[in-house]
């Protein structure tokens, strides 16, 4: 194993929140490393256009990621590739181990690994990603004005996002696997609920989604439904497997923090989508990152 490299703070995850935390911490003259399992920017790199981030009427996701990265590294913060497999506590220092056989030590750690959407894992879902398949109504709903949209899911999120989409779409059809909703449906003449129905395939042409193939879980009947877009809400899961040994997760695997992004372990903070939060957006992650960057500085200063 290579010799351990030491920093004041290691930020695990280089999405919008992680890059913001890096900028704030490095501006305070802390040595900072951002570790990520992919290219910096996270899900920004999978987003064609962003129209709900303050300061931009519209900006391409990869372009915003690049600007954030340049801002994050201008005061000396570094970036390295690697998937963190474990964080161990060693007195005042934290030891971070990656799958690249690298180890790092730090006085403070910021967990910014985010969450991922649960997928249907049906044919066409991956193929039409960004071409009619979406997991974020706030992000992509504006691209489907006066269109017929299908929302897949029966929980609170599916209903809330479906109702949100009725402000933009001509009609929204919510497909629910069960025979009832786990959420309270709102009265809205632009939204329809279809029960006992699963999506078996997402279909389309060379350009975009044109509909879905369905299966009735009660009658066994197969069918097809035309649509201009498919929004999938079957749950999110936190990317927190590497932190199970720290006793900072709730029963669902989300990191528990206070309003200052502090976990139950001194010197370990968490920001953005990896926390249980009502809104997973660039703006909220950036806000968390700013708080964490300032709190990291205060924590390290108190150690002196």
Catalytically active residues are 136, 139-140
Q: Select from 276, 294, 286 the least CA-distant residue to 53.
A: 286
Q: Select from 198, 146, 154 the least CA-distant residue to 172.
A: 146
Residue 16 and residue 255: Cα distance in Å, rounded? Answer: 18
Residue 253 and residue 17: Cα distance in Å, rounded? Answer: 19
The three-state secondary structure class of 286 is helix
Residue 197 and residue 221: Cα distance in Å, rounded? Answer: 10
Q: Is 103 left (phi over 0), alpha (psi -120 to 50) or beta?
A: beta
Residue 266 and residue 247: Cα distance in Å, rounded? Answer: 12
Find how far residue 153's CA is from the centre of its chain. 18
Residue 165 and residue 151: Cα distance in Å, rounded? Answer: 9
């Amino acid at each position: 194993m290579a010799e351990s490299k030491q920093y004041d703070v290691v930020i695990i995850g280089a999405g919008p929140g992680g890059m913001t935390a890096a900028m704030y911490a490095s501006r305070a003259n802390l040595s900072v490393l951002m570790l990520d399992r992919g290219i910096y920017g996270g899900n920004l790199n999978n987003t064609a256009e962003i129209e709900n981030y303050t300061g931009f009427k519209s900006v391409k996701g990869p372009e915003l990621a690049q600007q954030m990265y340049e801002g994050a590294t201008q005061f000396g913060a570094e970036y390295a590739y690697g998937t963190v497999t474990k964080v161990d506590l060693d007195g005042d220092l934290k030891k971070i181990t990656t799958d690249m056989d690298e180890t790092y030590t730090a006085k403070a750690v910021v967990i910014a690994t985010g969450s991922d959407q649960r997928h249907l894992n049906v044919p066409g879902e991956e193929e039409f990603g960004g071409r009619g398949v979406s997991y974020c109504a706030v992000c992509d709903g504006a691209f489907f004005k006066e269109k017929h949209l299908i929302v897949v899911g029966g929980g609170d999120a599916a209903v809330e996002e479906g109702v949100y989409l009725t402000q933009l779409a001509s009609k929204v059809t919510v497909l629910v696997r069960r025979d009832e909703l786990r959420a309270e449906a709102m009265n809205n003449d632009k939204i329809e609920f279809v029960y006992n129905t699963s999506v078996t395939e997402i279909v389309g042409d060379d350009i975009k989604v044109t509909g879905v193939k369905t299966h009735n879980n009660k009658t066994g009947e197969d069918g097809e439904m035309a649509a201009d877009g498919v929004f999938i809400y079957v749950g999110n899961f936190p990317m927190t497997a590497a932190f199970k040994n720290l006793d900072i997760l709730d029963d669902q695997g989300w990191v528990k923090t206070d309003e200052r992004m502090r976990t139950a372990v001194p010197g370990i903070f968490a920001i953005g989508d990896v926390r249980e939060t009502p809104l997973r957006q660039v703006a909220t992650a950036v806000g968390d990152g700013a708080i964490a960057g300032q709190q990291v500085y205060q924590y390290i200063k108190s150690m002196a």
